């Protein structure tokens, strides 16, 4: 033990702690300064940044024995407070720098430290600083953060006022389309918003801390689990195994496709008979402290008989591969696509045909915040589970039978989430904390390390694709043939739906009358497949967008003009045979054309024999909604203080559910001129909110937005008097008029049939991505110099949210194109190892242009946006590499050695 006097945020604070405790933990746990976040815990993300004696430090790797007496420390709490924001914090709000906000305090402190040293940094200085200090952000694409630092510096130099910083924030009138900041912004920039791990520290003293016993092999039979030694370890209350679970001990995938050969009951809560993948949970140790729980977890003895592990779809599809789930074939679902006429004669007679094999891999989500959650019984005896879930009602139904708890007896709450990017469309630790709470009858808390986050949550499912296209000599597409295999890992949940995406999105954006194809879902022993932003479109469209480039070359046409010739126009239908709801692609391409010509000119001018420049484009399309009659409910209630509250489950990954709900309600209530400051949002607690549905498929703005609009319109109608004025709350009460309005909306859509045909989505998002790249010939290293995106997401509801979605998604697409992977479980288990893009890997030059076609079904004309920027920009980068140096990458990521191998061929 040691005692230290530290000078923290201007005052002396005494701490007494273990020698080997980290400074991050001491600041968080001993001093309650939870702005210091623990993301990677390994010095790779900067979320634990503080200023130590005037220098920026990552505190997760500093042991207390190395911290001297009277060390001066500044945390985000000391940079500024909600009442007295520092210019850096204000600028962060003005530029939408805090999306999920988990990285934000670390960036605020980092920027503050930079500005202590240099009040006149260039943009490049700021980027260098973030790179050098490993400040990682997964949401924003960094550009808005650099904008914020530049503005803050201008305020500090006295060249700009604080008011000028906030000049784009409306103080009255409509807020649609403006830079009105999200309600959680102030808490995020001051580090005062409590995420799961922060709430965990503040739980009652009798809370048990959990540690998992996990598999270290990918496929095995369990012979025995011996917990006896662990049970005797210091502080241990109980070691929970499958034997303690009251229900079916399975998470159900809620399979809806009748042709699925599995039954959806394949994922154990705690493994009983078999291990299906690396990291599978075998037992949960519940103890008084996390350290005790982890020490005891080491002592649980698991005897296994290892089985052959099938780590990819082709391996699991071999004739002699054993069934991973005995009784269910490894290929458990097949989805066909059949549109128009048989393609065989078309391919025979076409002027030009082309074919390619493509692979998009196991992209890891890499939120900075690792998975975390807790469970307790409330005073009504209900099991309350808090997590990062982005599908609270859905997840309750998926875990209730496995736990053996009545669905009505489960309350699910979403904690502020530090990014999910879709991995939380699947339950992760919800059933684990539920089981531990039920087995111990105590509150329980479980916090994954970043290693656990990476190795034991779902990943993007790799697609192995073969696509063929037939065209006439003028470039008109005549037919397409497709074949795709989806490696969905061992658990089937939503695997059939994902496979359907191949039918819906290979070739999306183009008028192709005749399509034939087949896709299949394959069970493997690699990481289970979960939703990931774009959900099937980054795989599907990569194949068709790279093939379109190859076709253009074969035809001797410009890739943009080939696309222009074939994009949806009136009379065209999507690959599922649906009429697009708007026809904005020609306008999008017309808008991009001059930019494209400029980019090509720039590439020609800047190319050198050592560093070749190139330009690539790709088209992106994705649906906003879950397939078919997707629906949502939302309530709006007027209260005695004259405020209204919006109630729904618009789950927040970090994208801005709060600002989305607020803006939509404000617009719906506009006939009353209701001020935005008087609208509150109460989101994501199943005991309080009607079911808005999960935040997947970029559906919330459209589907929940329509429900909010309906509730708002109902409230306006209820409050309207005959003379056109509006009742007050008291008058409503006196006249027995309900003060809570209920809104519901169901998309007028149909599910796709066995041939992949139907009208699955009411609204789509459309975009064209233009990448300018350079390739270093000696090393094969690719740099994206500029990204331009022309997007149609309908009416832009909030400019900061939409720009933020676009920048952040583009950054993830660059990562997908060039570096990110989770194939090698060991190598890819850290942020650096998995190719996380830091500031300098993302271009500062990103240009966004919107074509706002009002959507007939969208609320106030809005479509979604969240996934559009990760549909296909990676194909633009890959097409740019080809344009630069003639190397065609067909399997991602385009690592330097792959490009170099191509150059050497």
Instruction: Please give the residues from 770 up to 799 whose contact with ligand FES meets the rule CB under 6 A.
Output: none
Binding partner selected for residue 39 from ligand MCN, ligand FES, none, CB under the kind-specific 5 to 8 Å limit: ligand FES
Query: Applying CB under 6 A, which of residues 368, 527, 557, 887 lies at the interface with ligand FES?
Result: 368
CB under 8 Å, gap of 24 or more: what pairs does 226-232 form? 226/300, 226/301, 226/302, 226/303, 227/283, 227/300, 229/299, 229/300, 229/301, 230/283, 230/285, 230/296, 230/297, 230/299, 230/300, 231/296
Query: Applying CB under 6 A, which of residues 17, 28, 46, 613 lies at the interface with ligand FES?
Result: 46
Binding partner selected for residue 805 from ligand FES, ligand MCN, none, CB under the kind-specific 5 to 8 Å limit: ligand MCN
Tokens read off for 136: 């990682």
Instruction: Please give the residues from 635 up to 674 whose contact with ligand FES meets the rule CB under 6 A.
Output: 654
Say whether residue 581 binds ligand MCN (CB under 6 A). Answer: no
Q: How far is CA 257 from each of CA 45, 333, 351, rounded to the nearest angstrom?
A: 41, 9, 39
Distance of CA 491 to the CA centre of its chain: 20
Q: Whose Cβ is closer to ligand MCN: residue 297's or residue 790's?
A: 790
Are 665 and 707 spatial neighbours (Cβ–Cβ below 8 Å)?
no
Say whether residue 621 binds ligand MCN (CB under 6 A). Answer: no
Nearest to 247 by CA among 7, 79, 439: 439
Say whether residue 482 binds ligand FES (CB under 6 A). Answer: no
Question: Which segment (56-64, 312-320, 734-742, 794-802) binds ligand MCN by CB under 6 A?
Answer: 794-802
Q: Whose Cβ is closer to ligand MCN: residue 145's or residue 337's?
A: 145
Are 631 and 746 spatial neighbours (Cβ–Cβ below 8 Å)?
yes
CA dist 657 and 414 (Å) reads 12
Bridge partner list, 540: none
Instruction: Please give the residues from 406 up to 445 whose contact with ligand FES meets the rule CB under 6 A.
Output: 419
Say whether residue 837 binds ligand FES (CB under 6 A). Answer: no
Say whether residue 103 binds ligand MCN (CB under 6 A). Answer: no
**Least distance (Å) between residue 136 CB and ligand FES:** 7
Q: Report which DSSP code applies to 274.
A: E
Say whether residue 497 binds ligand MCN (CB under 6 A). Answer: no
**Least distance (Å) between residue 55 CB and ligand MCN:** 30
Binding partner selected for residue 659 from ligand FES, ligand MCN, none, CB under the kind-specific 5 to 8 Å limit: ligand MCN
**Least distance (Å) between residue 813 CB and ligand MCN:** 13
**Least distance (Å) between residue 421 CB and ligand FES:** 10
Say whether residue 99 binds ligand FES (CB under 6 A). Answer: yes
Query: Applying CB under 6 A, which of residues 214, 701, 757, 774 lies at the interface with ligand MCN?
Result: 701
Q: Whose Cβ is closer to ligand MCN: residue 707's or residue 894's?
A: 707
Say whether residue 421 binds ligand MCN (CB under 6 A). Answer: yes
Question: Which segment (44-52, 124-132, 468-476, 547-555) binds ligand FES by CB under 6 A?
Answer: 44-52
Say whether residue 419 binds ligand MCN (CB under 6 A). Answer: yes
Sign of the torsion angle spanned by Cα atoms 286, 290, 294, 299: negative
**Least distance (Å) between residue 111 CB and ligand MCN:** 19
Say whether residue 712 binds ligand MCN (CB under 6 A). Answer: no
Nearest to 897 by CA among 784, 782, 773, 771: 782
**Least distance (Å) between residue 737 CB and ligand FES:** 42
Question: Which residue is catalytic, options 518, 541, 867, 897?
Answer: 867
Those residues with Cβ within 8 angstroms of residue 549's Cβ, 6 or more apart along the chain or in another chain? 559, 616, 879, 882
Helical spans, DSSP H, in 467-610: 495-505, 537-555, 559-566, 585-606
Say whether residue 45 binds ligand FES (CB under 6 A). Answer: yes
**Least distance (Å) between residue 388 CB and ligand FES:** 12
Bridge partner list, 13: 6
Say whether residue 457 binds ligand MCN (CB under 6 A). Answer: no
Query: Applying CB under 6 A, which of residues 196, 370, 402, 422 lies at the interface with ligand MCN?
Result: 422
Query: Applying CB under 6 A, which of residues 4, 28, 57, 58 lies at the interface with ligand FES?
Result: 58
Tokens 């001990």 locate to 249
Using CB under 6 A as the criterion, what x/- string covers residues 849-888 for binding ligand MCN? -------------xxxxxx---------------------
**Least distance (Å) between residue 398 CB and ligand MCN:** 18
Are 145 and 88 spatial neighbours (Cβ–Cβ below 8 Å)?
no
Are 115 and 88 spatial neighbours (Cβ–Cβ below 8 Å)?
yes
Binding partner selected for residue 48 from ligand FES, ligand MCN, none, CB under the kind-specific 5 to 8 Å limit: ligand FES
Number of residues that bind ligand FES (CB under 6 A): 26
CA dist 658 and 182 (Å) reads 6
Using CB under 6 A as the criterion, what x/- string covers residues 657-696 for binding ligand MCN? x-xx----------------------------------xx
Say whether residue 145 binds ligand MCN (CB under 6 A). Answer: no
Tokens read off for 769: 């991505």
Query: Applying CB under 6 A, which of residues 179, 238, 292, 653 lies at the interface with ligand MCN?
Result: 653
CA dihedral 696, 698, 702, 708 (to 10 degrees): 50
Say whether residue 183 binds ligand MCN (CB under 6 A). Answer: no
CA dist 822 and 812 (Å) reads 14
Q: Whose Cβ is closer to ligand MCN: residue 585's or residue 802's?
A: 802
Are 887 and 902 spatial neighbours (Cβ–Cβ below 8 Å)?
yes
Neighbours of 549 (CB within 10 A): 24
Say whether residue 447 binds ligand MCN (CB under 6 A). Answer: no
Query: Applying CB under 6 A, which of residues 62, 394, 793, 899 lies at the interface with ligand MCN?
Result: 793
Q: How far is CA 403 from each of CA 245, 250, 372, 430, rounded to the nearest angstrom?
A: 6, 8, 19, 10
Query: Applying CB under 6 A, which of residues 50, 114, 137, 225 lies at the interface with ligand FES?
Result: 137
**Least distance (Å) between residue 652 CB and ligand MCN:** 8
Those residues with Cβ within 8 angstroms of residue 144's Cβ, 6 or more apart along the chain or in another chain? 95, 96, 97, 803, 804, 807
Say whether residue 745 binds ligand MCN (CB under 6 A). Answer: no
CA dist 469 and 350 (Å) reads 10
**Least distance (Å) between residue 149 CB and ligand FES:** 14
Tell me the DSSP string of 476-510.
Answer: -EEEEEEEEEEE--S--TTHHHHHHHHHHHTTTTB
Q: Whose Cβ is closer to ligand MCN: residue 252's or residue 798's?
A: 798
Tokens read off for 511: 């008028």
Helix, strand, or coil here: 620?
strand
Helix, strand, or coil here: 717?
helix
Binding partner selected for residue 458 from ligand FES, ligand MCN, none, CB under the kind-specific 5 to 8 Å limit: none
Tokens 């940094």 locate to 121
* Secondary structure element (H or E) that encloses residue 733, with its range: helix 729-734
Binding partner selected for residue 576 from ligand FES, ligand MCN, none, CB under the kind-specific 5 to 8 Å limit: none
Those residues with Cβ within 8 angstroms of residue 901's Cβ, 6 or more apart along the chain or in another chain? 780
Binding partner selected for residue 796 from ligand MCN, ligand FES, none, CB under the kind-specific 5 to 8 Å limit: ligand MCN
Q: Whose Cβ is closer to ligand FES: residue 47's or residue 389's?
A: 47
CA dist 288 and 234 (Å) reads 9
* Catalytic residue status for 867: yes
Binding interface with ligand MCN (CB under 6 A): 99-100, 139, 419-422, 533, 653-657, 659-660, 695-701, 793-798, 801-802, 805, 808, 862-867
Binding interface with ligand FES (CB under 6 A): 38-41, 43-48, 58, 60, 98-104, 137-140, 368, 419, 654
Which residues are tagged catalytic?
A: 867
């Amino acid at each position: 033990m040691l005692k230290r006097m530290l000078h923290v945020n201007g005052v002396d604070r005494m701490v007494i702690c273990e020698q080997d405790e980290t400074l991050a933990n001491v600041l968080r746990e001993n001093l309650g300064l939870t702005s210091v976040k623990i993301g990677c815990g390994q010095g790779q993300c900067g979320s634990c940044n503080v200023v130590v004696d005037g220098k920026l430090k990552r505190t997760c790797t500093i042991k207390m024995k190395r911290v001297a007496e009277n060390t001066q420390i500044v945390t985000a709490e000391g940079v500024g407070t909600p009442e007295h924001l520092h210019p850096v914090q204000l600028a962060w709000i003005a530029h939408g720098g805090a999306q999920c906000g988990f990285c934000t305090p670390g960036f605020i402190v980092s920027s503050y430290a930079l500005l202590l040293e240099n009040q006149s940094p260039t943009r490049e200085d700021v980027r260098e600083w973030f790179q050098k200090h490993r400040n990682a952000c997964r949401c924003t694409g960094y550009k808005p953060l650099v904008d914020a630092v530049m503005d803050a510096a201008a305020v500090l130099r006295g060249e700009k006022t604080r008011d000028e910083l906030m000049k784009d924030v409306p103080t009255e009138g409509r807020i649609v389309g403006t830079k009105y900041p999200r309600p959680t912004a102030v808490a995020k920039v001051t580090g005062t918003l409590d995420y799961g791990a922060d709430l965990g520290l503040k739980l009652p003293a009798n809370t048990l801390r959990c540690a998992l016993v996990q598999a270290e092999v990918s496929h095995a039979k369990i012979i025995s689990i011996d917990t006896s030694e662990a049970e005797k370890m210091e502080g241990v209350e109980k070691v929970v195994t499958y034997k303690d679970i009251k229900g079916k001990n399975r998470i159900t995938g809620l399979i809806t496709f009748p042709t699925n050969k599995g039954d959806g009951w394949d994922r154990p809560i705690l493994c009983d008979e078999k291990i299906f993948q690396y990291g599978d949970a075998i037992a949960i140790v519940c103890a008084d402290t996390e350290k005790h729980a982890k020490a005891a977890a080491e002592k649980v003895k698991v005897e296994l008989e290892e089985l052959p592990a099938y780590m990819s779809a082709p391996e699991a599809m071999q004739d002699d591969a054993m069934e991973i789930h005995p009784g269910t074939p490894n290929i458990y679902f097949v989805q066909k696509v059949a549109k128009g006429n048989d393609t065989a004669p078309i391919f025979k007679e076409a002027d030009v045909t082309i074919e390619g094999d493509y692979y998009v891999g196991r992209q890891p989500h890499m939120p900075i915040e690792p998975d975390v959650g807790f469970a307790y019984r409330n005073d009504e005896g209900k099991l309350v589970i808090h997590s990062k879930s982005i599908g609270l009602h859905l997840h309750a139904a998926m875990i209730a039978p496995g736990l053996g708890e009545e669905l009505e007896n489960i309350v699910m709450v979403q904690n502020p989430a530090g990014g999910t990017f879709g991995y939380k469309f699947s339950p992760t630790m919800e059933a684990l904390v539920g089981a531990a709470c039920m087995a111990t009858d105590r509150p329980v808390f479980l916090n994954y390390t970043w290693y656990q986050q990476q190795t034991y949550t779902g990943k993007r499912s790799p697609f192995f694709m073969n696509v063929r296209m037939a065209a006439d000599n003028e470039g008109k597409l005549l037919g397409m043939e497709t074949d795709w295999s989806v490696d969905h890992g061992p658990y089937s949940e939503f695997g059939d739906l994902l496979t359907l995406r191949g039918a819906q999105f290979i070739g999306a954006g183009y008028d192709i009358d005749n399509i034939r194809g087949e896709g299949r879902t394959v069970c493997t022993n690699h990481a289970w497949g979960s939703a990931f932003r774009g959900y099937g479109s980054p795989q599907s469209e990569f194949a068709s967008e790279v093939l379109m480039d190859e076709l253009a070359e074969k035809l001797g046409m410009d890739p943009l003009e080939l696309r222009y010739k074939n994009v949806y126009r009136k009379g065209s239908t999507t690959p599922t045979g649906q009429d697009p709801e708007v026809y904005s692609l020609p306008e999008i391409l017309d808008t991009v054309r001059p930019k494209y010509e400029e980019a090509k000119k720039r590439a020609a001018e800047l190319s050198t024999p050592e560093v070749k420049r190139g330009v690539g484009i790709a088209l992106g399309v994705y649906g906003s909604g879950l397939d078919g009659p997707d629906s949502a409910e939302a309530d709006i209630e007027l209260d005695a203080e004259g405020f209204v509250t919006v109630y729904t489950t618009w789950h927040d990954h970090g994208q801005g559910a709060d600002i989305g709900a607020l803006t939509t309600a404000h617009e719906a209530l506009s006939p009353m001129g209701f001020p935005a400051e008087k609208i509150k949002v109460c989101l994501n607690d199943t005991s309080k909110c009607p079911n808005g549905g999960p935040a997947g498929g970029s559906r919330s703005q459209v589907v929940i937005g329509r429900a909010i609009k309906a509730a708002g319109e109902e409230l306006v109608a209820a409050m309207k008097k005959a003379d056109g004025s509006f009742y007050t709350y008291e008058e409503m009460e006196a006249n027995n008029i309900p003060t809570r309005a209920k809104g519901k909306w169901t998309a007028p859509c149909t599910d796709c049939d066995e041939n992949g045909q139907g009208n699955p989505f009411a609204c789509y998002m459309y975009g064209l991505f233009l990448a300018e790249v350079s390739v270093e010939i000696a090393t094969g290293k690719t740099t994206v110099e500029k990204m331009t995106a022309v997007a149609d997401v309908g009416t832009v509801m909030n400019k900061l949210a939409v720009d933020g979605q676009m920048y952040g998604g583009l950054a993830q697409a660059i990562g997908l194109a060039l570096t990110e992977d989770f194939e090698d479980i060991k190598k890819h288990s850290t942020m650096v190892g998995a190719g996380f893009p830091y500031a300098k890997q993302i271009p500062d030059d990103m240009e966004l242009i919107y074509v706002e076609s009002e959507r007939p079904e969208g609320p106030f004309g809005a479509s979604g946006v969240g996934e559009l920027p990760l549909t296909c920009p990676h194909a633009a980068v890959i097409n740019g590499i080809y344009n630069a140096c003639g190397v065609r990458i067909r399997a991602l990521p385009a690592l330097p050695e792959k490009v170099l191998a191509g150059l050497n061929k």
